[in-house]
Chain A
Amino acid sequence: MSLKDKAAVVGVGATQYYKRGQSVPQTPLEMAGKAMLAALDDAGLAVDDVDGLALYSFGLGGDTSLFAQTMGIPEVRFTAMLTGGGGGAAGSVGLAAAAIDSGMATTVVSLMTLQQAVSRFGTSYAPRGKPGAQYSASPSPEKDFASPAGLMGPGQMFAVLAMRHMHLYGTQREHFAEVAISQRENAIKRETSLMQVPLTLDDYFNARLIAEPLCLFDFCLECDGAVAVVTTTLDRAQDLRQPPVKVTASAHGGHGRWGQAITWMNMPDEYFVSSGHRPVAQRLWDMAGMTEADVDVALLYDHFSPMVIMQLEDYGFCPIGEGGRFVADGNIRYGTGSIPVNTHGGNLSEAYIIGMTHVKEAVEQLRGTAVNQVADAEVALVTGGPASIPTSSLLLTR
């Protein structure tokens, strides 16, 4: 028994994407509402149909209570949020499917809203600093073992994993560059993308190093915006405005001793250099009865380019350690590669809404309406952020 093919994504919607802080004076909750209304309109549904919220990382721009009273949701029958942060992006839609499969709700909205006008995720582990400084870390006994060394942001932390990947496997900065450059190629064909100029290898190597080996273009964008996804029963999905996109499998979690991952750095050696996704990937394939060979397009959470490479390994597209050479051989390019990756441009070049744009792109690929449409796409893989547990993933099919 599983949730395989019991629910379908029937609507996706988004606000405009903004560079960090430029969505002001809209409020986060206002953007969340706009994204939900857009997704419901896409589906041919209304607020009166919504009875559930399946979330991750506080993506409503407020609590369910405030959102429901503001939007006038008639009755909330399910409201839950995956623990953790961006790792739960893809898994929030799996949570929606679980709610639907269990009978607790019928039409469930997953949402991510982001506004970085005040605090920046890029310095989310920074100490408080001088009085009045607006950084987001609250002190904890565990952070005492990381922050005195000046680890202040996720980029610096993932750089530590990338550095060891290079050491163990001979991965090169050129390989990270290929992730950034290929995704930029995809982004510049889309009106919604914040980045509209091609990226060259010279641009990449001339960019400032932020946390060696990562330079500016290995980092995702810093954005504002909201993206919503509507999931309902497969039966109901048959009669709506869009062709149903089935939730064929979803999994979240990870090894317990992956734990806090990049903020503690004591993960077991056997999977220290990984995305943390390996057990999640295995459960995803088991639930679906599929493998990576069945996937037509992969939307892999790309906060930092090396983590795309590690996910390609962890989902089995190439052997462990071969991810760098796999991308260098052109395998992730749209149009020519064996597995097109982040056809929307991803967090690196379209917009960073903590991974929800990846779900939207997967749905559009399976409807056949994507800008960079993969011909006859039938199976799309979506992943949540490599991060502390849970990580998550989602397999959508036409």
Chain B
Amino acid sequence: MTTPITPADEPMAKLPPAELIHLTPDVFTVHFWDAAREHRLVVPRCTSCGTYRFPPSAFCFVCRTQDVEYVEQSGRGTLYSYTVAWHPLLPDVSESVPYIPAVVELPDTGGVRLIANLVDVRPSEVRIGMDLELVWRDVHDDVTVPTFRPA
């Protein structure tokens, strides 16, 4: 297990600024983002062989079927891995560090993973394998993204 180097007055994890977040959905991904605006987490599943695929895309990578059904998720997840962004790579995020980009595995999906920020946690408290729960972040009027906090 890593020993994180954290300041004595360790801050809570922050979030990247809303003004940097813009989406460019296509015909395959728009359903995910439309559902997110309604605070529903959906993952496409192949109607032929049942394989989940993510991000949403044109073909099942197992049987090449195109049709999918969108399966609503519980919002539970497990932390697969993460990093703590301590250094702002851009001036635009200088007030937003530290923030935590995480890879979150969704249960019962064959291992689908979302990339999302962790919230309500200090960096030194984060542990791979920890149970997480979904918290929607309403970024703009028309953009909502998933984040996760310790369950």
A: residues with CB less than 8 A from B are 122-123, 126-130, 133, 135, 139-153, 156-157, 159-161, 163-164, 166-167, 170, 172-173, 205, 208-214, 256-257, 264-266, 268-269, 272
Contacts and interface: CB of A to CB of B under 8 A. Distances in A.
**Most chain-B Cβ atoms within 10 A of its Cβ — which of A135, A160, A257?**
A160
A146 B113 CA distance: 11
Interface string B1-31: 1111100000000011001111111101100
Interface residues on B, range: 35 or more
A78 B129 CA distance: 50
Contacts of A269: 111
A129 B92 contact: yes
B102 interface: yes
A173 B2 contact: yes
B81 interface: yes
B113 A148 contact: no
A264 B113 CA distance: 9
Contacts of A122: 89
B25 A144 contact: yes
A141 B55 contact: yes
A156 B129 CA distance: 20
A284 B54 CA distance: 31
Contacts of A146: 115
A266 B90 contact: no
A148 B101 CA distance: 9
B54 to A, nearest CB: 6
A211 B87 contact: yes
A212 B84 CA distance: 5
Contact of A144 (B15, B24, B54): B24
A217 B84 CA distance: 16
B99 A150 contact: yes
23 contacts: A126-B20, A129-B90, A130-B92, A135-B90, A140-B24, A144-B24, A144-B29, A147-B21, A148-B139, A150-B85, A150-B96, A151-B101, A157-B83, A159-B83, A163-B81, A163-B83, A167-B2, A170-B1, A208-B87, A211-B84, A257-B61, A264-B55, A268-B111
A149 B137 CA distance: 11
Residue among B114, B115, B116 with the most chain A CB within 10 A?
Answer: B115
Contacts of A148: 16, 21, 23, 139, 145
Contacts of B103: 160, 265
A141 B26 contact: yes
A166 B102 contact: no
Given A205-B5, A210-B89, A212-B86, 19 more contacts: A129-B92, A133-B92, A140-B24, A141-B24, A141-B29, A144-B29, A145-B55, A145-B115, A146-B115, A150-B93, A150-B96, A152-B93, A156-B89, A160-B81, A160-B103, A211-B85, A214-B83, A257-B61, A266-B113
A166 B2 contact: yes
Given A146-B115, A211-B84, A153 B1 contact: no
**Is chain B's interface secondary structure helix, strand, loop, or mixed overall?**
loop
B85 to A, nearest CB: 6
Contacts of A212: 2, 4-5, 83-84, 86, 123
A156 B92 contact: no
B102 A149 contact: yes
B70 interface: no
Contact of A152 (B4, B89, B112): B89
A299 B106 CA distance: 38
B29 A153 contact: no
B86 A160 contact: no
B136 interface: no
Contact of B83 (A127, A141, A160, A173): A160
Contacts of B129: 167
Nearest to B145: A148
Interface in B11-68: 15-16, 19-26, 28-29, 33, 54-55, 61
A209 B92 contact: no
A106 B85 CA distance: 48
Contacts of A140: 24
Contacts of B81: 160-161, 163-164, 167
B86 A209 contact: yes
Given A141-B25, A144-B33, A150-B99, A163 B89 contact: no
Given A141-B55, A160-B103, A209 B115 contact: no
B123 to A, nearest CB: 7
A268 B117 CA distance: 21
Contacts of A161: 81
